[in-house]
Chain A
Amino acid sequence: MQDLTAPSLALAQPPPAAVPAGEKLPLAAVALGLLALLAAAADADPGRARLSLCLALALVSGGALGWAWLAFGQRPPGWHPHDLWRRASTSRGAVAWATGVALTGFYVVLYWFPWLLENLIRALDPFSQWLRHRPADQWFLYGTFYTLAVLVLGGRGLWKYRFSRYHLARTASVMFFQLGFGFLLPGLLLALQKPEYYFSYFWPLKYDYLFPGTVAQLLHGGGLGAFMVFWGVVMSFLATPVLTYFLGKRWYCAWVCGCGGLAETAGDAYRHLSDKSRQAWRWEVRLIYPILGLIILLTGLLWVGASGAVPALGVVTGPLGQFYGFVIGSVFSGIVGVGFYPLMGSRVWCRFGCPMAAYLGLLQKHFSRFRISTNGGQCISCGNCSNACEMGIDVKQYAQRGEPIVRAACVGCGLCATACPRGVLNLENGPREGRLAASTFIHADSLRIL
């Protein structure tokens, strides 16, 4: 339903936002970098392709960082998302559609047509040999691009949020975990002839880490393998509840996780696109908890099968495992999760599909000291908080009722508190007693909001 009298027509017509002259240079560098990437992909000569690739990465990274410096570093520090809903790139315009299709297409090629990337993969061979003592493959290419995206756009984040030490710490943390735990350490393990293992991912996100087959394989790998199994079990079942009790799910989702890391850096410009409607929230609940149930069921069945108690279980676990791996592990987490950033916001996967987020969310909602407090009666219902929420929480509904926000979905990015022009919101860990108590300055109205 649309307001007929709303000045939507007048407001939707933006003054043509010309690109400032200074920004054209870094933009040109990014464009040339993409061209060089294309050249590298098309060149069968490994030497030349390598040179093109290096040039491409330098131009794209340098251009992006330069652009970030001009766009954010040249303004007074502070939160000013001007023209967010007027730029084609951030308001589901033509640029956003093109970006979404290109990103989605990259995933499709990566998953199903990796030979199209053969020249790029070969160009990375020397780097892979140096880091991992083995030739590159499509996943090494992906890991390199992924890490570079987190680092470069994390650099953009550091410029953009230089006024807030919370955001600086959060951004630095995801950059550190992606580079160290998501890229260098697994490479080093491979170089040392050890199993490739990501210490920053656990079951149920990295679901196969606790499958009987993986556990058996790791236990064969001696002391380090045994430690990896131990680490996985402890992180999943002990550290996760304990840390979530004290800090909320943000300790993982907004500070450690690689998916979260990409969302907070590369996806930062798209956070406002997450749908805040009641319908979207219903879809979220319908999807994320069944997915958690599915992976618990699958893991349980595999262990029952491995115990030999029910010999015929393979008939169920085989197809179920394939379905989960393909639909959830590949399509949802990669293709939709990242490919749809420019159209549906940066946390599509985290919000609708991630079983780890569901697990953490249940803990956060029912068993945690974390909440977002609202500050008395000062909310002016402006909607900036909801707009900034990448998880699609309609924060404003809580703030204007003076209620603390205790939601399973909240990843604690803290942008609602930053965007609030009245300083009404604050992320806090406090006593659990009274954490749901509403402010005395606004009387709850008990009418349905969801």
Chain B
Amino acid sequence: MHLVIIGNGIAGVTAAITARRLAPAARITLMGAESAHHYSRPALMYLYLGHLRYADVKPYADWFWAENHLELVQTEATGVDVAARTVQLATGPHLAYDRLLLATGSVPRIPDWPGQQLAGVQGFYGLPDLETMSRNTQGIRRAVVVGGGLIGVELAEMLHSRGIHVTWLVREGRYWQSVLPPEESALLEAYFRKYNIDLQLNSEVRELLGNVQGQVRAVVTTTGQELPAEWVGLATGVQPNLALAKAAGLDTDRGILVNELLETSAPGVYAAGDCAQHRQPAPGEVAVEQLWYTGRMQGETVAHTLCGQPTPYRRGEWFNSAKFFNLEYQTYGRVPARPTAGIASFCWQHPNGRHLLRLNFQEKDQAVTGVNALGLRQRQDVWEHWLREKTPIGTVLAQLAAANFDPEFARQHEAAIRRAFARQFPSIAVAKPRRKGLFGLLK
């Protein structure tokens, strides 16, 4: 069998590695136009910050691929003939496949603003973007970042590390408001301002102004404000990269449409990762998942199917994590950004503005439904267990120390959290806490 994988991001690479394990004799070809080897996309910012070198963000050493008989091809796939089962390459002859996996990832989604073609204006997604940013931000004083998600904060931190003044325009009334409840947004907004980031909420771009050399010089907002900027980062989201799928005539919507086996509309052609869109997402799940770990899970799942073990994609309990400058964020289960009928929400904050814990639970049976943690590390398997078992909030609070994943000697806040909970929900009994023990409470 010849398995061809287009895209050497996390989904494609996980599929290749899993397929190698399941089918030791298969020929596996992994194609990526952007880089010769797989690298960690979320780590790009650390290259700019100078924490790491390019070699450090490659998850596998260069010898790994040849030793495991994974053929790497660095070229662009320009087309797919699903009838003839061939892939057209930008360089070289057509490549015949038995099974094909499209793991083509995302491309930045940028609204159509006048002036966004100016030099010094860019999105941030891959290595070429990093290279451009690296070149264009040398020695500059002022930059503007547009967009209030995770890429936005990465760009702000990168620029800040070089002493560049950052004005950060967020269209919404609060930071990451589609995902975070108000307290979390407020805490983060105060936190960003401590780093002297000029965060401007309710601010939209109207146009970008350039100088005679075609270089950006200012951003004009919809309120008419003109912000000087030598560089502008557009972090307004990403969308599935569909170019190849559309050219091949596959069914697409926002992404490449796949069933639960991650099969596309063409036989022998599959899609996984950022570029895929589930035709029928499981209840409460989104159709397009653009996360590192869902990419990995989809890659692993699809590899089983590709190797003759049809396996439906089941994501399991939702989780995510991020870091905002020095503040870590973890979430498990469902924590809606807005109050939800039937769901009670308890939120504890440390007065120092560096720790927050939100616990959501159902009003009717007090079953815990989700957690947000800022500046506190939570243990995933403990939370997975609590969420799956619909553990009552009283039990969760009593055993909260079991979910503590903070380093040794770190201050523990469980007692303070319990006191705050008792004040807010006096009617809910919290059992007497047991001593902290590794996994002891799960048995």
Q: How far is the CA of A390 from the CA of B410 in the complex (A)?
A: 22
The contact of A82 among B10, B36, B50, by CB within 8 Å, is: B50
CB atoms of A166 and B439 under 8 A apart: no
Q: Tell me, rounded to whole Å, the shortest Cβ–Cβ distance linking B38 to chain A.
A: 9
A387→B51 contact, CB < 8 A: yes
Question: CA of A449 to CA of B68 in the docked complex: distance in angstroms?
Answer: 10
Decide if A165 touches B409 in the complex (CB within 8 Å).
yes
The residue from A82, A377, A382 contacting B380, defined by CB atoms under 8 A apart: A377
B348 at the interface (CB under 8 A from A): no
Q: Is A317 an interface residue (CB 8 A)?
A: no
A77 at the interface (CB under 8 A from B): yes
Q: Does A200 sit at the interface, judged by CB under 8 A?
A: no
Residue contact B321 to A423, C-beta cutoff 8 Å: yes
A164 interface residue (CB < 8 Å to B): yes
A434 to B438 CA separation, bound complex (whole angstroms): 11
Residue A21 at the chain B interface, CB threshold 8 Å = no
Interface residues of A in 138-170 (CB under 8 A from B): 163-166, 168-169
A82: chain B residues at CB < 8 Å are 49-51, 161
B57 CB-CB contact with A under 8 Å? yes
Nearest B residue to A447 by beta-carbon distance? Answer: B68
Complex: A164 Cα to B407 Cα, angstroms: 8
Distance (whole angstroms) from the CB of A149 to the closest CB of chain B: 25
Q: In the assembled complex, which residues on chain A have CB atoms less than 8 Å from the CB atom of B314? A: none
Give the residues from 34 to 61 in chain B that come closer than 8 angstroms, CB to CB, to chain A.
34-37, 40, 42-43, 46-54, 56-61
* Residue numbers in B under 8 Å from A311 (CB-CB): none
Q: Across the interface, do A165 and B410 meet the contact criterion of CB distance under 8 Å?
A: yes
- The distance in angstroms between the C-alpha atoms of A33 and B441, with both chains bound, is 57
Q: Give CA–CA (A421, B408) in the complex, Å.
A: 17
With A6-B127, A166-B410 already in contact, the answer to whether A380 and B43 are too (CB < 8 A) is yes
Query: Which residue of B is nearest A18, CB measured?
Result: B163
Least CB distance from A273 to B in Å reads 11
* Chain B minimum-CB-distance residue to A422: B321
CA distance A378 to B63 in the complex (A): 25
Write the B262-290 contact mask toward A (1 if CB under 8 angstroms, else 0).
Answer: 00000000000000000000000000000
Restricting to B110-166, which residues have a CB under 8 Å from any CB of A? 127-128, 130-131, 134-135, 138-139, 161-162
Which A residues between 350 and 385 are near B, CB-CB below 8 angstroms? 373, 375-378, 380-384
Q: Which of B1-56 contact A (CB under 8 A)?
A: 10, 17-18, 20-21, 34-37, 40, 42-43, 46-54, 56
Question: Which chain A residue lies CB-closest to B138?
Answer: A15
Whether A7 pairs with B409 at a CB distance below 8 angstroms is no
CB-based contact B384/A422 at 8 Å? no
Give chain A residues whose Cβ lies under 8 Å from the Cβ of B18: 443, 445
B350 contacts partner chain A, Cβ-Cβ < 8 Å: no
Please determine whether B56 and A387 come into contact, CB atoms closer than 8 angstroms. Answer: yes
Count residues of B near A (Cβ-Cβ below 8 Å): 72
* Bound CA–CA A421/B322 (angstroms): 7
A377–B51 CB distance below 8 A? no
Query: In the assembly, what is the distance between CA of A375 and CA of B383, in Å?
Result: 11
Q: Which residues of A contact B411 (CB under 8 A)?
A: 165
A277 within 8 A of B: yes
**A60-68, A94-102, A220-228, A424-432: which one contacts chain B?**
A424-432
Shortest Cβ gap from B188 to chain A (Å): 14
Question: What residue in chain B is nearest A278 (Cβ atoms)?
Answer: B61
**A8 contacts B by Cβ under 8 Å:** yes
* B residues near A384, Cβ cutoff 8 Å: 43, 46, 51-52
Cα(A440)–Cα(B48), bound, Å: 33
Q: Does A122 sit within 8 A of B, measured CB to CB?
A: no
Q: Which of A4, A426, A442 contacts B377 (CB 8 A)?
A: A426
0/1 string, B303-316, CB within 8 A of A gives 1: 00000000000000
B319 contacts partner chain A, Cβ-Cβ < 8 Å:
yes
Residues of chain B lying within 8 A (CB to CB) of residue A418: 407
Q: Which residues of A contact B43 (CB under 8 A)?
A: 380-384
The reply to whether the CB of A396 lies closer than 8 angstroms to some CB of chain B is: yes
CB of A380 within 8 A of CB of B134, answer no
Note all chain B residues with C-beta closer than 8 A to A40.
Answer: none
In the complex formed, the residue of A with least CB distance to B74 is A5
- Chain A residues near B323 (CB-CB < 8 A): 421-422
A382 to B296: give the CA distance in the assembly, Å. Answer: 14
A231 interface residue (CB < 8 Å to B): no
Task: Find chain A residues with CB under 8 A from B405 CB.
Answer: 373, 375, 423, 426
How far is it, in angstroms, between the C-alpha of A20 and the C-alpha of B22 when the chains are bound? 56
B197 CB, nearest partner CB in chain A, Å: 12
Q: Which residue of chain B lies nearest to A442 when distances are taken between CB atoms in the complex? A: B296
For the complex, is A334 an interface residue (Cβ under 8 Å from B)? no
Q: Please name all residues of chain A whose beta carbon is closer than 8 Å to the beta carbon of B53 when the two chains form the complex.
A: 8, 11, 85
Minimal beta-carbon separation of B25 from chain A (angstroms):
15
Cβ–Cβ contact A382 & B46, under 8 A: yes
State whether the Cβ of A238 lies closer than 8 Å to any Cβ in chain B: no
- Is B128 within 8 A of A166, CB to CB? no
**A378 with B321, Cβ < 8 A, contacts A387-B56, A439-B381, A448-B68 known:** yes
List B contacts of A79 (CB < 8 A): 326
Find out whether the CB atom of A5 lies under 8 angstroms from the CB atom of B68.
no
Q: A186 interface residue, CB < 8 Å from B? A: no
B37 close to A445 (CB less than 8 A): no
Residues of B within 8 A of A78 (CB): 325-326
Q: Check if A447 sits within 8 Å of B54, measured CB to CB.
A: no
Closest residue of chain A to B292 (Cβ to Cβ) is: A380
Interface membership of A115, Cβ < 8 A: no
Docked Cα-Cα span, A432 to B17, in Å, equals 30
Contact B56 A5 (CB under 8 A): no
B42 A376 Cβ-Cβ under 8 A: no
Contact (Cβ within 8 A) B408 A166: yes
A377, A383, A400, A417: the one within 8 Å of B407 (CB): A417
For A373, the chain B residues whose CB sits under 8 A away are 405
A427 to B326, CA, bound (A): 20
Contact across chains for B50 and A382 when beta carbons are under 8 A apart: no
Interface assignment of B418: CB less than 8 Å from any CB of chain A = no
| Contact code string A371-414 (vs B, CB < 8 Å = 1, else 0) | 00101111011111011000000001000100000000000001
Residue on B nearest A1 in the bound complex, by CB: B62
- Output the nearest chain A residue to B13 by Cβ-Cβ distance: A381
Question: For residue B410, which residues in chain A have a CB less than 8 angstroms away from its CB?
Answer: 164-166
Q: How far is the CA of A57 from the CA of B96 in the complex (A)?
A: 72
Query: From B291, which residue of chain A is reached at the shortest CB distance?
Result: A380
Instruction: Judge whether B36 and A3 touch: CB under 8 Å.
Output: yes
Cβ contacts under 8 Å, A375 to chain B:
377, 379-380, 405
Does the CB pair A169–B52 fall under 8 Å?
no
Which 10 residue pairs across A and B have the least CB separation, nearest first?
A: A376-B380, A78-B326, A382-B43, A7-B131, A430-B438, A423-B377, A381-B59, A83-B50, A165-B409, A421-B323
A interface residues (Cβ-Cβ under 8 A, vs B): 1, 3-8, 10-11, 14-15, 76-87, 163-166, 168-169, 277-278, 373, 375-378, 380-384, 386-387, 396, 400, 414, 417-418, 421-423, 426-428, 430-431, 434, 439-443, 445-449
Q: List 29 A-B contacts (CB under 8 A).
A: A6-B127, A7-B54, A11-B47, A14-B50, A76-B325, A78-B326, A80-B326, A82-B51, A83-B161, A169-B409, A375-B377, A376-B379, A377-B293, A377-B319, A380-B40, A381-B40, A381-B43, A381-B292, A383-B56, A384-B46, A384-B51, A422-B330, A426-B377, A428-B408, A430-B439, A445-B21, A446-B21, A448-B68, A449-B64
- Additional pairs, 16, CB under 8 Å, beyond known A81-B50, A447-B17: A6-B54, A10-B134, A11-B131, A15-B162, A168-B409, A375-B380, A376-B380, A377-B319, A380-B42, A380-B43, A381-B292, A383-B52, A384-B52, A387-B56, A418-B407, A447-B64
